[in-house]
A and B are shown apart, each in its own frame.
Chain A
Amino acid sequence: MRSPYSGLPQKAFWRSGVSEQHPLTITNLYNKKFVIGEQDKIATAGSCFAQHIARHLTLNGYSVIDAEPPLPGLPPDRATAYGYSMYSARYGNIYTVRQLKQLTQEAFGMFKPKNTIWKKDDAYFDALRPAVEPNGLRSPGEIIQHRALHLKRVRQVFRSANIFIFTLGLTEAWIHRSSGTCYPTAPGVIAGEYSEQDYAFVNFTAAEILEDFLQFWRIVRVRNPGIRFILTVSPVPLTATASEQHVLSATVYSKSVLRSVAGELASRFRQIDYFPSYELIASHFSRGLFYEPNLRAVSGAGVREVMRLFFSEHQPTKPAVHTTAIEAPELAELSCEEVLLEAFAG
């Protein structure tokens, strides 16, 4: 008797692919779609979990673009506090694909975001990356000057990257009603003042996210035709939801939508690969093993397993240097604006 399942590899079956595997030794969960060459320049962006990927790629000898390097003398923990060494430019966490699209549109002069300067006490903040200057700046004029130079670096990143690794983090976001400007944080969390009149909550659908990504790609492709993508979905749950759902339901919904979009993009385009860090950390296969006790933050062990899985397919160009300097950041709190929402829990 013939069946389409006859002769499929072990990974295709739950028993051999999952039940009989251990999270620390699972094989064949990821098979790369393309090679990352030694000469390839990698750009990274995304939600806070993506910071781990960028850091480990650098430590393992990959050429990761840093278009806005930290100031000499700034200690590493302070550099992170100022938005340095997290991603390929100092854009902070990009939680949604809408943010990514708008950043690219803005960088190449196709979109002018509105209401981008928020205030807290006497300091001014760039609403599109409010965490990169934790003490804010002195005037709206400074925000404009800083942003203009930042966008120049963003253009460099998208023009020069061969591989762009992006971690999809959230479907929920806050937008400026009249202009559609999408923010990484809600007004009033780091700076700014929330008003229903000016701001609206959105929970992007799979179709919207897919279209946003395709538009983003079109903009970049004109300037950088050969760029390829590795997409991941952040396994970090929502800190809070404004969707009126329970935060657990909202998290599962959000991650499911993002996983669906990433999967569709990877299945449709040879230039887009999907890396299943989400499955390794967040699925019940791992029994919560890779989360910290709050069931939200990913543990150091989890990050190590994710990177082991990644490097099992993309062999590092040089051996990893195992020092405390490498271990420490995994255990440290990532720079993650979203976690600030905890402050609003009752």
Chain B
Amino acid sequence: MSSAVPVREPGRAAAPLLDVEALRRDFPILARTVHGRPLVYLDNAATTQKPTPVIEAAADLYGRYYGNIHRGVHELSVQATDAYERSREKVRAFVNAAETREIVFVRGTTEAINLVAQTLGRQRVGEGDEVVITALEHHSNIVPWQLLCDEKRANLRVLPIDRTGEVRVEELERLLTPRTKIVSVAHVSNALGTLLPIRKIVEIAHARGIPVLVDGAQAVPRLAVDVQEIGCDFYAFSAHKMYGPTGIGVLYGRAELLEEMPPYQGGGDMISSVSFEKTTWNVLPYKFEAGTPDIAGAIGLGAAVDYLSRVGIGSVTAHEEDLLGYATSSLSALPGLTVVGTAPEKIGVLSFVLEGVHPHDVGTVLDQEGIAIRTGHHCAQPVMEFFGIPATARASLALYNTRAEIDALAEGIRKVQRMFR
């Protein structure tokens, strides 16, 4: 076969390049200085900055058409309800769920995982049963399962990682037993940036009839996510890590499972009728949305989805891959710097340690240079323990970061080294 056409990964290299300088103007905060220096914001895995359309969405709601949703006959309620439900549909399309009712609005990834643990988990997990996670999970995908396992006297099983931070997926088959009731795994590790082979994990678990939850908090802002293609049963993510507001997130769940699950919280909006003798639950997704939700948050999330769609998630992926490659080679060239997490499939996150300097001190010195990074255990203490370190410094990327900012980071690290020599 002729190779006149270069071989490309579908959907990746073909994506148009981002006009980053133009996009940066959409984020007002990027114009500010910190300690007299231009802000270099590299803490995007913790939370991303917000573009103007997201900032304005809340003001627009409160200034023009605010009312409570799903209950008023009046015009404001109708308009607010429309906007809230339009956001749900936008989210559905963004992750390609089969049905809009499979999109449940929650407070964030953490609440989404707790919701599943406390409903499906409590329904299916009994004494002596098992829940399987991986060794690189965020605390939010560990602790909800520990609470469940404590209550049910069940066991938490952990799929190990190797020295590069790659999940040893070949051990999954052995780890799954007839007692395994749920598998819950990250899509992308927040501490190391490892991209997990989730399609394979889903395939292995499903072959044994075990449902799979994917924590997509770090994946949704940087990769095209298609929940039907992944085949998972649940997919959880947070708006604030994908350029949207805080306080709102999404649980995608397959309708069949959501139907089977009991409600998570009781209250208004989640019922179809209430009497003191018997209450019947509302239909999906409202069964899981008790009380007045974060209306402004949901509408802001819709604005973030619109923004990301307009920018093009494929282009964001390509941009972050390019930047991560650039950052990895520039930082690795610094003497005494060790990158933590070197899995072949990685995105968005660069964790590192500096010989002779504690990450906390690295963070303080960089902050004085206007450079925001995260230092600490990144809510993934078991990962730190595995690598035998108390903490790392972590630079994490977004669509608005530039090579010049990576250069500033490298220069900042050189300054740290001069200071602590």
A and B held together in a complex: no
Report which A residues bind B (CB closer than 8 A): none
Report which B residues bind A (CB closer than 8 A): none
